[in-house]
Structure 1
Amino acid sequence: METTTILIIDDEKAVLESLAAYLDDCGYRTVTARNGREGLEIFARQGADLVLVDLRMPDVDGIEVLTQVKAVSPATPTIVVSGTGVIEDAVSALHQGAWDFLLKPIQDFSVLAHAVASSLERARLLRENREYQHRLERMVAERTAELEQANVHLHQINERLRGIVETTRALAFCTDVAQFGKLLLEEFAKHMLAAGGSLYMAEKEGLRLIHSLDPGHAGTFIPFPLPRGSVFEQVMADKQPVLIKEISRHTDLNSSGWRGYRDGSALVFPLPDESGRMAGVVSLHSKSSPPFMEQDREVGMILASYSREALRAVRASKSLRENERRFRDILDTIQTGIFVVDVASFEILYANPAAAKMFGAPIDAIVGHNCNEALCQRVQDCRSLKLFGRGVDLAERVLRTFDGHEVPVLKSVSRTVLQGRECILESFIDLSEQKHIQAEKAQLERQLRQAQKMEALGTLAGGIAHDFNNILSAVLGYAQLGLRDLADTSHPLHTKLNAIFHAGQRAKDLVAQILAFSRRQEKVRAPLTIGPIIKEVTKMLESSLPAEIMVQSDIRAQRSVLADATEIHQVVMNLCTNAYHAMEGHGGTLDIVLEEVDLDHVGKSLDVDLLPGEYVKMTVSDTGCGISPAIIDRIFEPYFTTKSKAKGTGLGLAVAHGIVKGHLGAISVSSQVGRGTQFSVYLPVVEETETPDLTVPQALPQGTESVLLVDDERVLVEIEQQMLEGLGYHVTGVVGGPAALETFRQSPERFDLVITDLDMPGLSGVQLAEALAGVRSGIPIILCTGFSEGFDKKKGKLLGIRQVLMKPITVE
């Protein structure tokens, strides 16, 4: 296969060398030029399959190169590379015939490879299209020339045989072989006074009867090989006519395939085609006197010769019609829309079905009408006629259909002649599907980027969970110690400490949820009642929202749902936050209603897709600004928001929707602009009830064993030491792994249990456990961590790690 040659023209040596090196590696043959003049000389001398030219060069610039290359070889693809990034340069280059436009520096050479491959492929398709079109035009011209030559030949015969021509003129107008054979046989019989006769045409397997003057006498088909010694066999072999003046005397002739004629005279003529092959035979019979004579044979030979030319014309005409039909079938079936428009009158002479479909109108509403009325609508819009004489190859345009819609198309315009009229041929390729695929690809790329952001967020969440849990350990620990030391439960301080403890528990659950998110783990759900969660959220909102926003709750349902308490808390908070933002600055009322509904009775009237059954319905409504009907169908889409960046990410309602759907429930919304919005959440009821107990246990197991407590946070060592000592244990608290290992080495038999943090600088919990096992094997170890991702539990078990506790750690 011949290597594709690419001419690279650039006045920057580094760019020239890098482009040539890359394209050489791609398998192309490159020729380089340091300026436009040198490049034009090379192109004039040896040509190129593609020209890659810099736009800005001294002396002869890229525009001049484009102009001269296009003038010499319009079919050669050209790609312009420019470092200016000015849109006028791109427009100017494309107007001068550039096939593509790239910006320097080219960061991703795959873009260059794609542009080169696309341009070469486009050039190949255009070249093949032109060759195919030229081939078709040449075939039509040859067939037309042959037809004209046959007519001339027939005219000459008509001049010599004026009488015969007058009677056989219709032969030239026959449209098929059957019509031609009938007319020819009748003309033979008329000029030679034959009483009977038949005409056979040769096929692959034998002779087929086309017409008979005495039907029923001749056989319809005579198979090859013909009977030996028959008249037909002799005529087909010798290609000469046979005259039998008296049939009854020629007893040496065999039948040609049927019982034949028994008396009278006979004339049998060969009908050769233009190549000399036998196309058929004509058999004539006469019972009258005188019989057929030599003169009849001579006249018949002339008529047979004439008929040969007529038969050839008939077959050529048939072949031409078949070619035209095939070509029209191609045009009628391809998906490319095609119009042929008369340049002088703007009349549309032809439109294929694809074009009619593209324009949204039947063909008869297009063909015969004025181009301006049917297509362009205004004379100044007729870009095809403006481009007439220059041609357009695969340019993207917007096509306006009959009903006003716009369709993106790839358009080509070329000149042609139809029925002697100068015309333009326009072809359109519908790019709607391609544009749709490109839009979907862009959407998928956006979703991928968002997914990568979420993945990064998950990684970040896991990374900071340890620090959060250390902080919460201190908050929960001191709250519990304070509650333990404060015996009087009626003391105001006891209520405040209890509130701190509950808030810490909620924060603990939220961190656990963040960890589950970062690990992509399924939540553990249990039966619970939603009422306490709503009360907690309501109490928090009353203390945090502005005074002009009134928060009301009405809890009528006590039945349980199978759910994760933290996720339900998040749903309630997200909906309430959304309601607050809708009323911010104006005030209003936020209502939360919890009730039980039976969808067996009311489900048909609800705009939710749920199975019949009993559900707990939570309604969160506000009297805020409401949601426009134009966007209400999109509010549950991820990252869709109408809020500023400081107030919303577009995830709140999407997360709430995902949580509810994950609980086999549904969420619906109704809104009126200026009056408010109402969200309804449906969760299926379960029979078992189990409400999380948020109270501090009063009685815990006691012990007297000796414990080595290790953490890199001194405050956590102090809190956990007080907790364990409060339960009766003897605790030695040590900060850091190296200090703990040294303490254990001094008296390894002193300790019954080691409790250590996992993530510590210097010596991690696992490393400490391994070192302790080397000093005293079998020592029980409890590992504490705020984030256990990546911890090898099997290895930990071998080191004596009996339990793993997740921070924050409470007394329980």
Structure 2
Amino acid sequence: MSAKQDVSNHALTGLKAINEIYQIFALTPSSQFALPQFLQLILQTAVRLTRAQYGALGVFDATGTHLIQFLTVGIDEATRQEIGRLPSGQGLLGHLVHEESVLRLKDLTKHSRALGFPPHHPPMKTFLGVSIRAHGRIFGRLYLTEKQEADEFTEIDMEVVKSLAIQSGTAIENGTLFQEIRAAEDKYRLLLQSTTDGIFGIDRQSRITFANQAALKQLGYTADELMNQPAHELLCHAKPNSSVYSASECPILESARDGRGHPNATEIFYCKDGISIPVEFTSTPMMEQNEVVGSVVVFRDISDRQRAMTALRESQQRFQQLAENIEEVFWLTDPEKNDMIYVSPAYQQIWGRSCESLYTSPRSWLEAIHPIDRNRVEGALSRQASGAYDEEYQVVRPDGSTRWIWDRAFPIRDDQGKVYRIAGLAADISNRKELERQLLQSQKMEAIGQLTGGIAHDFNNMLTVINNYSEMLLDEINPNNISQRAEAESIKEAGEKAAVLTRQLLAFSRRQVFEVKVLDLNEIVSNVLTFLRRLIGEDISLKVCLAPTLGCIKADLAQIEQAIINLVVNARDAMPGGGLLTIETQDVELDSIYAQQHIAVTPGRYVMLAVSDTGCGMDAKTKARIFEPFFTTKTVGKGTGLGLSTVYGVVKQSRGNIWVYSEQGKGSIFKIYLPEVKEQVEPTCADPVSPENLRGSETILVVEDEKLVLTVARAILERYGYTVLVAHDTDEALRLAQDGSRLIHLLLTDTIMPKMNGPELAVRIISMRPKIKVLFLSGYMDNALLAVIELKPGIAFLQKPFTQVDLSRKVREVLDKPQPR
């Protein structure tokens, strides 16, 4: 065969191969076309037709800088991967792509752009390469190396490869377009199926042509059940009021009829199970060659929205109910515009001004603040945005009354952290302020009581010594020595006055021992009326209003009588020009609301005693101090300032409360509340008859830590014939009691002593001497000992300062009293 004929046969073979490839490309449907396999076929055909030892075909990405496919023939996998990672824009291959569309070389190593071979790359010399293009766009490159049985590739080889490159470019372009189309279809299909809105299409006859998954799910149908079904009869045949539509009225068909869009309509759709759902939908015509072929309906189930709107309305109603019914003022402002957005109706009740006035003038609330607080509050407003605004101030209402306000602010921030609203709460704390005032007053009175009680205790010890030695002194002075007796009697008189004073101090400090019994307050008032009428004088009218039926109280008769007398004297002195004095009793129920407004009050049943006058009244400063010992508004010499403090102490020790209501020029009302008891009134017994002979011969153990008192008590008892054992402390008393060599008839002990108090000592000694009798002495009692003494009726007690007769009579009374069995 001649060389010419060989060339012709080679060309014919190439044409046939190219034609076969074209037929494959032309006849394969796009949906079944596999681009990688087709490109591999082209590469293999090029290698076979050109008799190349190696071949490679690379496909670029959209940027033309990276290979997304790299196919080879004759090259091992490791080398293929290494070559595929090389930059596409450099070296000989980069030159082929960007500067020459066809490159045929006898020795590629001598080309100026050759960069050598990577490691493990087989040696190559002959080279035939062509860029793969279509419609001016570079898609890749096809190159062959090492033509067998020849030292270079021929022009026929070059034409064959160019033709195959054209086929490759067209296939890659079509494949890319097909992938883009399919990706777009997938995208829109995904979008259609992923949206939560239901979408379906209808033709002009109202038949459903397609539906997405959301539509199927919301309506409860499968695709087969819905396709080609009449949309009107199936989905939208009734109005929201349940009346039936005709097809001509059906809103979802309007777009298919008139070719216009119908947005944002609200309707009722019916599901497969017959349940209706509220929907919001749009209907858009589908056009084909300017002809309406149907419409697309996009709908959304608004059940959740309607429920949310209902919940919102209910929430707004709850907020309105809360805001309009809470006692505190809730307010909301815009800090940038300085506008009042909302203020609750409580503002009108507390400030006494209308809410509308605050909307009109947002700073008008400041005008109501008391002048002494206004500058401070205005200066604090800048702290509202930080949340540090927390102020207490007074407001003056239009009627002139004042209220205490506790006002706080809470900043509300947007997503960027900027304060765009300020919410606040203003509470009327007038009651709390009043309770605080009452608490401070109570604490002050308690502190004064402790002080005066301690003073009275020390005075009582001293007065016990002074008064008794003055009596003994008088007994020793010759009756004819008038001057000495006068001096001694002056000492005695001063001591007795001082004793009265200390008793009043003890009454105020609630450190007296009461003889507590069940009493009828009406009876007590009635018994002292005659005395009270003489006490107040003829220029004052006395009005008595006693409740027909009155509960009983538990208290000390003498102390309650003294309290009534002191209140009446106080009322008399407040009316120097005459007036009306009223005494009233009544059963009352003090509830929890009253208790919240009056400290130390426990809710329950009480017996009230009220003493009122039409006198001069008091201002707030005077009223705050009237129960303090020695406080008086009278001129010097007209009063000790202990009358009302004694009343206060008696009431408090009787577990009651006292309140005063007074205004200058309008008189005063003192109200005493004593707890009601459900026990019967105890009959009043006559005072025990004092023995005519106060002397005795029994042995008495006297325990007193105050040496002078111990000495004078011993002297008195020995004067009256008693044998006296003395102990300066409880340890010594216990030692004497343990001595069984003598009989001890009576334990006479101070109540408050170091180490051990009197009742505790008595218990110890009685355990050793069960028949011993006990008499307690004290000038002062703490609350714990008062409770012990008062809760055990029959316990003998003698208050300091006592006289010789007081002590001897009480000792004789205790000794002569039968021993309880």
- TM normalised by structure 2 equals 0.39
Bigger Rg, which one: 2
- TM normalised by structure 1 equals 0.39
